[in-house]
């Protein structure tokens, strides 16, 4: 397991099956392997394909799930090796939630997780998710009246 920020870590599925106590929220993004986390942990499985470009809707779902569970929790994002899909979701989370630029997010994650290999075209996929979120936000604003 590798700490990326004070409350966000990436790891493999073995790390997720036996996480440190401070990791109370676990997101498994490995399509090929479900895990059973210890009792008392919040868990979700959003299966990303290995070595493939991330599906924008799945990436948005993963980041939204992390946003929903982040407050006061340690977040562990895992995949088979903890090097591709998990780091890609963390990069997206840092960009979409924490406002980091893509190059800065990649630099941070790669410095803290040696061997990190983001999924193909991740920057473009994150930009697309950002646009989807902006459209949703504009759509929800259109239904409100201002007085």
CATH number of residue 57's parent domain: 3.90.190.10
pLDDT greater than 70 at residue 22 = yes
For the stretch 66-125, pLDDT in tens is: 999 999 999 999 999 999 999 999 999 999 999 999 999 999 999 999 999 999 999 999
Q: Where are the beta strands (DSSP E) in 2-132?
A: 2-3, 8-12, 23-30, 42-48, 74-79
pLDDT greater than 70 at residue 8 = yes
Tokens 């006061």 label which residue? 72
Q: Is the dihedral of CA 103, 118, 97, 3 positive or negative?
A: negative
On whether the CB atoms of residues 78 and 16 are closer than 8 A, the answer is yes
The pTM assigned to this predicted structure is 0.92
pLDDT greater than 70 at residue 11 = yes
Mean pLDDT, range 20-49, rounded to an integer: 94
pLDDT value at position 144? 56
DSSP label of 4: S
Split at pLDDT 50, 70, 90, the class of 147 is very low
Q: Report how far residue 76's alpha carbon sits from residue 66's, in angstroms, rounded to the nearest whole number.
A: 10
Domain range holding 8? Answer: 2-142
Whether residue 147 is contained in a domain is answered as: no
Domain count, the chain: 1
């Amino acid at each position: 397991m590798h700490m990326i920020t004070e409350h966000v870590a990436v790891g493999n599925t073995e790390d997720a099956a036996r996480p440190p106590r401070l990791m109370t929220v676990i997101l498994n993004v490995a399509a090929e392997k479900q895990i059973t986390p210890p009792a008392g942990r919040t868990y979700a499985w959003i299966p990303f394909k290995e070595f493939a470009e991330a599906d924008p809707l799945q990436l948005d779902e993963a980041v939204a799930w992390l946003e929903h569970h982040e407050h006061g929790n340690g977040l562990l994002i895992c995949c088979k090796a903890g090097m591709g899909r998990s780091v890609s979701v963390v990069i997206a989370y840092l960009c979409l939630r924490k406002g980091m630029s893509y190059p800065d997010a990649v630099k941070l994650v790669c410095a803290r997780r040696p061997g990190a290999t983001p999924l193909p075209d991740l920057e473009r996929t994150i930009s697309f998710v950002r646009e989807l979120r902006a459209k949703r936000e504009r759509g929800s604003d259109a239904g409100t009246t201002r007085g």
